[in-house]
Amino acid sequence: MIKEPVKVKDLPAAIRTGNFDEVVLGYGEEEALAEAGRCLQCKNPVCSSGCPVGIDIKKFIGQIVQKDYAGAYFTIREKSNFPAICGRVCPAEYQCRKACILTKKGSPFASQQAINIHFLERFVGDYGKSHNLDVPVQREEQLAKSKVAVVGSGPAGLCCAGELARKGIKVDIFESLHKTGGVLRYGIPPFRLPWEVLDFEINYLKKIGVNFTTNFLVGKAKSVKELFSEGYAAVFLGLGAGVPSFLGINGESLCNIYSVNEFLTRVNLMSAYKFPQFHTPVNIGKNVLIVGGGNTAMDSARVALRLQKLQGYPLNTTVIYRRTEVEMPARRLEIEHAKEEGIKFEFLVQPKEFIGDEQGFVKKLVCLRSELGEPDASGRRRPVVIPGSEFELDCDLCVIAVGLAANQILINATPELKTDKYSDVVVDAETMESSISGVFAGGDIVGGEGTVIEAMGMAKKAARSIIGKLSKK
Amino acid sequence: MKILNKRTINDVGGVKITQLDILSADIAEKALPGQFVMLMVSEQGERIPLTLVHTDKVKGVVSLMFQEAGFTTQSLGRMQPGESLYSLVGPLGHPTEIKNFGKIILVGGGVGIAEILPVARAFKDAGNQVITILGSRNKDLLILETELRNASSELFVMTDDGSYGQKGFTTDKLKELLSKDKYDLIYAVGPIPMMQRVAAVSKEYNTKTLVSLNALMVDGTGMCGCCRVTVDGKVKFSCVDGPDFDGHSVNWEELGKRNKAYTIQEKHICKLSTQILK
């Protein structure tokens, strides 16, 4: 008989909605030991096959059982650069936990019974952080003569920089915003990923010699070509997917209709929730609607709810999604947290048109009801609008969270760089090298919107190719 | 990002216009007329866009000119030479298309006059005949008249009260010019109502009109869509698709309303800051 999963402690919903503190408190040692003890230590483990970077999950959980937490940390670090980050943001229920033998066959995501691998990873990551466990630099003298430019300081850029710097290569990261971290800073709210966790990883990179230049937009202030002429032996593009999609319906440019990026950037990066102490404003409303079913939709819903509470509004934030809960691409944990916090959901609803007042502020969203039809290209059943089902929802603030596309500035400034129909950078799948020799790419700029760990996988691959290329010189 | 010089261009009747010369070799090296920067005064600050009014490649210096109208521009105006901005990134946006169009009318209103100066100089250098119309509430509020006179073959000043030049709006002069002669391009920068009126007049005369839009922005690099503007029925981002657009195709009403989305917060923070300064 397998024991029940060890529940992770959360800040109670009534408290956490009034602040931006981290919601998941994580396992303590006893809890981690109990959860690790549930692992069957399968003879032929399948969990690792679900991990985009192939972490030896069985091994690190075994090390937790042995109380060899440092050993567990280094086991994860062999494959993943940021255990404390991935343990917090990885959609484990679609990856390792789904692959776990304890997940029911055919389930669309991990069963409750599956080992809480992500919470164990976080426990180990935080142990490494609090014990300053640094992975040693393996400086190679020949490589130490080269320098590489990394464009973008999001997950892909940070990971690639770390891999290169550990070999002694001089790495300069160029970031266009005033703070580093990319989507980890501007996109993911601090209640999911506290800045100190991110800063720990960034400080580690600084410690091993990575140089960060913020406020620098490659493609405008300098071209890729100029980077090479300045002596960079290779360039890694971790540009990210930062261009917000809109619905393309009438009234979408009314005031108080935000793209998910604008809403989250104002609140996360610019700390608008601390206005006027911080000077960037953000609006909030009585009837907030969030359109979308992914992680950014959950993040913006939970941010909106917190703003309502901080401003003394009754809590009234509703997520509108065109399919049903099962098809939502968001992490199950975020959906659960959102529900606990009091976020409402309207499924099988398709926005049709926004209606505003004379001052140009949104007042209503006209919607249509749908039903699920045949599966589409994504394998999920396509929502089909029910004729005559039109209805109105009160809406004085709306966040559109329906997807993000590739950042275009550098791409437009670099016509030799081959892109696909989504404007993503085309790379060789083995080397991650683009159509320009010496220019590599990874993360969302290659695969479209993905996860931190997928970005890391690509960045590591690119780093290996860059190291290989530099070693031959 | 260090401020080298500070100059008060004008300070009358509650209208204060300030110029800052800032050290930024990378931006100075690449900036072209019509482009802008995003800046932050402090770590707690807002990111605001400002058009570059002058760049000196040799010295690596960029110049910004702004009216101390809101909280952030007032904070910026309080900065002193020797101090550094918290953040400065650029050059952003597409440069203005500079070529020999032929005969061009430039229309500048308020602090928008500062923004047409680099464009006027570039148009003149490209061989255009540049006629400039400047609009101001009164004589005292007019800025950069000499600089723009030097960059233009003809210059007209219009004041609301007739205290200088001719009494009337820039559009009165524009109408007069367009009714007498044919022009190849009109380029206008100023308050939204002025640009809207310029576009309405020039449309009657079927004359191509470019405007540089001052939409609200957050990142300024195409990632948030705060600056979206409807042009010819399509949603564009001012920061990466502009800031110059065809004035006849801009949905002015929408832009005017969107730029007022935070007036309540602006009033609040300005009130707080005056209390603190007192």
Measured in angstroms, the CA of B49 and the nearest CA of chain A are apart by: 13
Q: At what angle do helices A452-472 and A155-165 cross, to 10 degrees?
A: 40
Phi/psi of residue B159, nearest 5 degrees: -120, 150
Question: Which two structure tokens, joined as six digits, stand for B1?
Answer: 């990002």
Is A229 part of the contact surface with chain B (CB cutoff 8 Å)? no
Mean pLDDT of A373-399: 91
Phi/psi of residue B67, nearest 5 degrees: -90, 135
Examine the pLDDT at A167 and tell me if it is beyond 90.
Answer: yes
SS3 (DSSP) at A257 = strand
pLDDT at A135: 84
User: Per CATH, is B103-258 categorized as 3.40.50.300?
Assistant: no
CA B34 to the chain's CA centroid: 9
Instruction: Round to whole Å and give the CA distance between B231 and B240.
Output: 14
Name every chain A residue with its beta carbon within 8 A of the beta carbon of B40: 178
Distances from the Cα of B83 to the Cαs of A446, B3, B71, B90, B247, in angstroms? 41, 6, 18, 19, 38
Residue by residue, DSSP assigns B152-216 as -SEEEEEESSSSSSEES-HHHHHHHHHHHS--SEEEEES-HHHHHHHHHHHHHTT--EEEE----
Closest CA to A356 of A387, A400, A392, A402: A392
Name every chain A residue with its beta carbon within 8 A of the beta carbon of B219: 176-177, 186, 265
Is B26 part of the contact surface with chain A (CB cutoff 8 Å)? yes
**Cβ proximity of A45 and A57 under 8 Å:** yes
Name every chain B residue with its beta carbon within 8 A of the beta carbon of A413: none
User: Per CATH, is A245-403 categorized as 3.50.50.60?
Assistant: yes
With residue A348 as reference, give the H or E element that holds it: none
CB atoms within 10 A of CB B59: 12
Examine the pLDDT at A117 and tell me if it is beyond 70.
Answer: yes
Instruction: Round to whole Å and give the CA distance between A462 and A458.
Output: 6
Instruction: Round to whole Å and give the CA distance between A427 and A53.
Output: 19
CB atoms within 10 A of CB A159: 31
**Cα–Cα–Cα angle for B128, B134, B136, rounded to 5 degrees:** 170
Q: Which CATH number fits domain B3-92: 3.40.50.1820, 2.40.50.100, 3.50.50.60, 2.40.30.10?
A: 2.40.30.10
CA dihedral of residues B74, B76, B82, B87 (deg, nearest 10): 160
For the segment A428-471, what is each residue's pLDDT rounded down to a tens digit?
A: 999 999 999 999 999 999 988 888 999 999 999 999 999 999 98
Measured in angstroms, the CA of B144 and the nearest CA of chain A are apart by: 28
CB atoms within 10 A of CB A283: 20
| N-to-C CA span, chain B | 29
Is A418 part of the contact surface with chain B (CB cutoff 8 Å)? no
Examine the pLDDT at A237 and tell me if it is beyond 70.
Answer: yes
Instruction: Round to whole Å and give the CA distance between A164 and A168.
Output: 7
For B226, which of A186, A214, A262 is closest by C-beta distance?
Answer: A262
Identify the sign of the CA torsion A88, A90, A93, A95. Answer: negative
Give me the percent of chain A exceeding a pLDDT of 90.
90
Q: Give the ipTM.
A: 0.95
- Chosen from A175, A220, A411 to mutate, greatest number of chain B CBs within 10 A: A220
Mean pLDDT of A405-426: 94
Residue with tokens 């404390």: A84
Amino acid, single-letter form, for residue A140: E
pLDDT, averaged across chain A: 95
pLDDT-based confidence at A6, cuts 50/70/90?
Answer: very high
CB contact under 8 A, B86 and A178: yes
Is B57 part of the contact surface with chain A (CB cutoff 8 Å)? no
For B46, which of A217, A261, A279 is closest by C-beta distance?
Answer: A279
Phi/psi of residue B174, nearest 5 degrees: -60, -45
Amino acid, single-letter form, for residue A288: V
pLDDT at B277: 56
**Cβ proximity of B70 and B266 under 8 Å:** yes
Residues 6+ apart with CB under 8 A from B133: B105, B106, B107, B108, B155, B156, B157, B158, B170, B173, B174, B177
Residues 6+ apart with CB under 8 A from A216: A174, A175, A176, A222, B26, B89
SS3 (DSSP) at A250 = strand
Is B197 part of the contact surface with chain A (CB cutoff 8 Å)? no
CB contact under 8 A, A409 and B27: no
Mean pLDDT of A394-418: 95
Instruction: Round to whole Å and give the CA distance between A200 and B109.
Output: 49
**Cβ proximity of A368 and A390 under 8 Å:** yes
Is B270 part of the contact surface with chain A (CB cutoff 8 Å)? no
Is B259 part of the contact surface with chain A (CB cutoff 8 Å)? no
Is B240 part of the contact surface with chain A (CB cutoff 8 Å)? yes
Identify the sign of the CA torsion A75, A77, A82, A86. Answer: negative
pLDDT-based confidence at A377, cuts 50/70/90?
Answer: confident
Is B91 part of the contact surface with chain A (CB cutoff 8 Å)? yes
List alpha helices for A83-168, DSSP H.
Answer: 83-89, 96-99, 117-130, 155-165
Instruction: Round to whole Å and give the CA distance between A460 and A442.
Output: 9
Is B23 part of the contact surface with chain A (CB cutoff 8 Å)? no
Instruction: Round to whole Å and give the CA distance between A99 and A45.
Output: 9
Name every chain B residue with its beta carbon within 8 A of the beta carbon of A253: 228-230, 235, 251, 254, 258
Is A405 part of the contact surface with chain B (CB cutoff 8 Å)? no
pLDDT at B13: 83
CA dihedral of residues A58, A59, A65, A66 (deg, nearest 10): 160
Measured in angstroms, the CA of B99 and the nearest CA of chain A are apart by: 21
CB contact under 8 A, B89 and A266: no
Measured in angstroms, the CA of A248 and the nearest CA of chain B are apart by: 9
Instruction: Round to whole Å and give the CA distance between B84 and B21.
Output: 11
**What are the helix and strand counts (H, E) for chain A?**
17, 16
CB contact under 8 A, A281 and B26: no
Q: Considering the domain A143-242+406-472 in this protein, what is its CATH number?
A: 3.50.50.60
CB contact under 8 A, A244 and B219: no
Instruction: Round to whole Å and give the CA distance between B211 and B190.
Output: 9
Name every chain B residue with its beta carbon within 8 A of the beta carbon of A252: 235
Cis ω before B243 (30° cut-off from 0): yes
For A243, the closest chain B residue by CA position comes to B223
Strands A391-394 and A257-259: unpaired
CB contact under 8 A, B89 and A262: no
Q: How many residues does chain A have?
A: 473
CB atoms within 10 A of CB A309: 19
pLDDT at A448: 85
For B70, the closest chain A residue by CA position comes to A279
Examine the pLDDT at A425 and tell me if it is beyond 70.
Answer: yes
Residue by residue, DSSP assigns A156-205 as HHHHHHHHHHTTT-EEEEE-SSSSSSTHHHHTS-TTTS-HHHHHHHHHHH
* Residue ranges covered by each domain of chain B: 3-92, 103-258
Name every chain A residue with its beta carbon within 8 A of the beta carbon of B253: 360
pLDDT-based confidence at A254, cuts 50/70/90?
Answer: very high
For B222, which of A246, A252, A407 is closest by C-beta distance?
Answer: A407
Phi/psi of residue B26, nearest 5 degrees: -65, -45
Architecture (CATH level 2) of domain A13-130: Orthogonal Bundle (1.10)
CB contact under 8 A, B46 and A277: no
Exposure of A90 by Cβ count < 10 A (0-12 exposed, 13-18 middle, 19+ buried)?
A: buried
CB contact under 8 A, B90 and A221: yes
Mean pLDDT of A386-402: 97
Is A215 part of the contact surface with chain B (CB cutoff 8 Å)? yes
CB contact under 8 A, B258 and A253: yes
- Chosen from B224, B259, B266 to mutate, greatest number of chain A CBs within 10 A: B224
CA dihedral of residues A15, A19, A23, A25 (deg, nearest 10): -80
For A360, which of B91, B219, B254 is closest by C-beta distance?
Answer: B254
For the segment A267-306, what is each residue's pLDDT rounded down to a tens digit?
A: 999 999 999 999 999 999 999 999 999 999 999 999 999 9
Identify the sign of the CA torsion A93, A94, A99, A103. Answer: positive
Please identify every stretch of chain B with a pLDDT value under 70, giving residue numbers as ranges. Answer: 276-278
CB atoms within 10 A of CB B233: 7
Amino acid, single-letter form, for residue A92: A
Measured in angstroms, the CA of A58 and the nearest CA of chain B are apart by: 40
For B218, which of A265, A271, A361 is closest by C-beta distance?
Answer: A265
- Chosen from B213, B218, B237 to mutate, greatest number of chain A CBs within 10 A: B218
**Cβ proximity of A112 and A8 under 8 Å:** no
pLDDT-based confidence at A378, cuts 50/70/90?
Answer: confident
- Chosen from A175, A217, A229, A260 to mutate, greatest number of chain B CBs within 10 A: A217
Q: What is the pTM of this model?
A: 0.95
CB atoms within 10 A of CB B7: 12
Examine the pLDDT at A1 and tell me if it is beyond 90.
Answer: no
Is B266 part of the contact surface with chain A (CB cutoff 8 Å)? yes
CB contact under 8 A, A220 and B225: no
Do B3-92 and B103-258 come out as alike in CATH topology? Answer: no
pLDDT at A134: 84
For A247, the closest chain B residue by CA position comes to B235
Please give the order of strands across the beta sheet that includes B209-212.
B166-167, B154-159, B129-136, B103-109, B185-189, B209-212, B244-246
Measured in angstroms, the CA of B52 and the nearest CA of chain A are apart by: 14
CB contact under 8 A, A283 and B262: yes
Do A143-242+406-472 and A245-403 come out as alike in CATH topology? Answer: yes
Is A375 part of the contact surface with chain B (CB cutoff 8 Å)? no
For the segment A19-65, what is each residue's pLDDT rounded down to a tens digit?
A: 999 999 999 999 999 999 999 999 999 999 999 999 999 999 999 99
| N-to-C CA span, chain A | 58
* Residue ranges covered by each domain of chain A: 13-130, 143-242+406-472, 245-403
pLDDT-based confidence at A188, cuts 50/70/90?
Answer: very high
Residues 6+ apart with CB under 8 A from B268: A276
